[in-house]
C-alpha cells in the first residue's frame, strides 16, 4: 500500500512573510489524510522546517549538487538540505533540465548524492509538446527513467511525471494520457527494480494541478499524488488539493 503524497514546489518564490501561508495551511489542515512535503527556496528551508516541527508535514529541498562538498559557489549539497530540515529533494525538474542543461546522467548522480545524505529524491521527468506530438512520449519517458535512476533504487524514491507543456500553462493531459504515462512508468520501474520494489515507488503527477482538477487527476490509476507548483504557494489552494488527495486515498 503506497501512502499518497502531495509535494509543493515553491520554485523561486517566497520571502519570510510568505511562511504565513504555511501557518494558514497547518491551521486549516492539521492532520492531512496523506503525506505532505513543502519544498521552499533554500533560503526559507530551515525556517519552514522549524514551523513544521511536531506536525505531520515535511520539508524538502529544490535541487542539490552531485558532490558531497567542495568548491562549487552557489550550489548546495544534499547533506546541507538534510541539515536544514529537509527529508526530500526535487531533482531533474524540466526547468533545471532546460535552464541549466541538466542531463539525466547528472540527475542520477544528484539522486545518488541525495540518498547518501538520507534524502528521498523526487525525480522528475516528462515529454515536451513536440515529443508528444511526434508520438514519442513513452519512448522519451523510458529513456529519461533509465538514465535518471540512481543505482540501487528502491522504495526510497518518488517519481514525478511532469509533461513539460503542462507546467504553469493551465493545460493538463487527459486522464487517459496520465494513466498511459503512469502505467508505462510503473512497468519500466519493474524492469529496472523488479516487480516488488517497483510497486513501492510513488508516482506523482505534476503540471497545472489545481483545486478544480485535483480530484479527477487523483482518480486516475497509478497516480499516487501530485507535485504542485503555482497552486502550492497559497494555503487555500494547496489545502484544497491536499484534501482532495486525502479523500481519494
Ligand atoms: P505548476 O508546476 O503546478 O505550476 O504547473 C508543476 C511542476 O513544475 O511540476
Output the CATH code of domain 5-248. 3.20.20.70
**Pocket of ligand 1, beta carbon within 6 A:** 9, 93, 162, 167-168, 206-209, 227-231
Q: Which three cell numbers stand for residue 144?
A: 529519461
Residue 9 CA, ligand 1 centroid: distance in Å = 8
Residue 113 CA, ligand 1 centroid: distance in Å = 24
Closest Cα partner for 58 from 22, 21, 91?
A: 22
Most ligand 1 atoms within 8 A of CB, residue of 228, 233, 238 to mutate: 228
Phi, psi dihedrals of residue 194, rounded to the nearest 5°: 95, 155
Nearest atom in ligand 1 to 94's CA: 8
Nearest atom in ligand 1 to 11's CA: 8
Q: What is the pLDDT of residue 240?
A: 98
Q: Which residue has the cell 503540471?
A: 207
pLDDT of the chain, 249 residues: tens digit per residue: 799 999 999 999 999 999 999 999 999 999 999 999 999 999 999 999 999 999 999 999 999 999 999 999 999 999 999 999 999 999 999 999 999 999 999 999 999 999 999 999 999 999 999 999 999 999 999 999 999 998 765 668 999 999 999 999 999 999 999 999 999 999 999 999 999 999 999 999 999 999 999 999 999 999 999 999 999 999 999 999 999 999 996
Give the helix/strand (H/E) hosting 188: helix 175-193
Facing residues of 89 across strands?
Answer: 61, 121
Q: Which residues make Cβ contacts (< 8 Å) with residue 119, sequence separation at least 6?
A: 60, 61, 64, 78, 81, 82, 86, 87, 88, 89
CA distances from 164 to 69, 124, 125, 135 (A): 31, 10, 9, 15
Most ligand 1 atoms within 8 A of CB, residue of 123, 124, 158, 206 to mutate: 206
Q: What is the pLDDT of residue 186?
A: 97
Q: What is the pLDDT of residue 152?
A: 67
Nearest atom in ligand 1 to 206's CA: 9
Residue 71 CA, ligand 1 centroid: distance in Å = 31
The predicted model scores a pTM of 0.97
Q: What is the pLDDT of residue 1?
A: 76
Q: Domain limits of the chain?
A: 5-248
Amino acid at each position: 500500500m503506497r501512502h499518497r503524497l502531495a509535494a509543493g514546489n515553491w520554485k523561486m518564490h517566497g520571502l519570510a512573510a510568505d511562511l504565513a501561508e504555511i501557518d494558514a495551511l497547518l491551521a486549516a489542515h492539521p492532520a492531512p489524510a496523506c503525506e505532505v512535503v513543502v519544498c521552499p527556496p533554500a533560503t526559507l528551508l530551515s525556517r519552514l522546517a522549524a514551523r513544521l516541527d511536531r506536525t505531520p508535514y515535511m520539508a524538502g529541498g529544490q535541487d542539490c549538487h552531485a558532490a558531497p562538498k567542495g568548491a562549487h559557489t552557489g550550489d548546495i549539497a544534499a547533506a546541507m538540505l538534510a541539515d536544514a530540515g529537509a527529508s526530500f529533494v526535487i531533482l531533474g525538474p524540466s526547468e533545471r533540465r532546460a535552464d541549466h542543461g541538466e542531463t539525466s546522467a547528472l540527475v542520477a548522480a544528484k539522486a545518488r548524492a541525495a540518498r547518501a545524505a538520507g534524502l528521498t529524491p523526487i525525480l522528475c521527468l516528462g515529454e515536451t509538446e513536440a515529443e508528444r506530438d511526434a508520438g514519442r512520449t513513452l519512448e522519451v519517458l523510458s529513456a529519461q527513467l533509465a538514465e535518471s535512476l540512481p543505482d540501487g533504487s528502491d522504495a526510497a524514491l518518488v517519481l514525478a511525471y511532469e509533461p513539460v507543456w503542462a507546467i504553469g500553462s493551465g493545460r493538463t493531459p487527459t486522464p487517459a494520457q496520465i494513466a498511459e504515462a503512469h502505467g508505462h512508468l510503473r512497468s519500466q520501474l519493474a524492469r529496472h527494480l523488479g516487480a516488488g520494489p517497483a510497486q513501492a515507488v510513488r508516482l506523482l503527477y505534476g503540471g497545472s494541478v489545481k483545486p478544480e482538477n485535483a480530484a479527477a487527476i487523483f482518480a486516475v490509476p497509478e497516480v499516487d499524488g501530485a507535485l504542485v507548483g503555482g497552486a502550492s504557494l497559497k494555503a487555500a489552494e494547496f489545502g484544497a488539493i491536499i484534501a482532495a488527495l486525502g479523500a481519494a486515498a
